[in-house]
Amino acid sequence: MAPSADRRRERHEALAALLEGDGLDALLVTSRPNIRYLTGFSGSAGMAVATRGDLLLVTDSRYDEQARQEAGAVARVEIETASVWDRLFKELPTLGPLATVGYEAHTLTVKEAERLSGGAGTAWRWKAAGELVEGLRARKDPDEVAAIRAAATLAGEALRATLVAVRPGQTEIEIAGLLEAALRRFGSEGHPFPTIVASGPRTALPHAQTSRRAVAGGEWLLLDFGAVVDGYCADITRTVVVGARATEAQRALYDLVAGAQRRAREGVRAGMPGREADGLARDPIEARGFGGAFGHSTGHGLGLAVHEAPRLARTAVEPLPLDAVVTIEPGVYVPGRGGVRIEDDVHLAAHGPVLLSDGRTDLVELV
- Taking the alpha carbons at both ends of the chain, their separation in whole angstroms is 36
Phi/psi for 168 (5° steps) reads -55, 145
Task: State pLDDT tens for residues 208-258.
Answer: 999 999 999 999 999 999 999 999 999 999 999 999 999 999 999 999 999
C-alpha closest to that of 259 among 240, 287, 236: 287
144 closest CA partner among 351, 324, 359: 324
Using the 8-state DSSP alphabet, how is residue 46 labeled?
-
Specify the pLDDT at position 5: 83
Which residue stretches of 233-273 are H helix?
A: 248-267
Contact 223, 197 (CB under 8 A): yes
Phi, psi of 251 (to 5 degrees): -65, -40
Cα 160–352–1 angle (5° rounding)?
50
How would you list the strands of the sheet with 47-51, edge to edge? 76-80, 55-60, 47-51, 26-29, 100-104, 125-129
Contact 322, 282 (CB under 8 A): no
* 226 contacts 191 by C-beta, under 8 angstroms: yes
Which domains occur in the chain, in start order?
A: 8-137 (3.40.350.10), 142-366 (3.90.230.10)
- What 3-state DSSP class applies to 85? helix
* CB-neighbour burial class of residue 31 (10 A; exposed 0-12, middle 13-18, buried 19+): buried
pLDDT at 1: 45
Per residue of the chain (367 residues), what is the pLDDT tens digit?
444 689 999 999 999 999 999 999 999 999 999 999 999 999 999 999 999 999 999 999 999 999 999 999 999 999 999 999 999 999 999 999 999 999 999 999 999 999 998 889 999 999 999 899 999 999 999 999 999 999 999 999 999 999 999 999 999 999 999 999 999 999 999 999 999 999 999 999 999 999 999 999 999 999 999 999 999 999 999 999 999 999 999 999 999 999 999 999 999 999 999 999 999 999 999 999 999 999 999 999 999 999 999 999 999 999 999 999 999 999 999 999 999 999 999 999 999 999 999 999 999 999 9
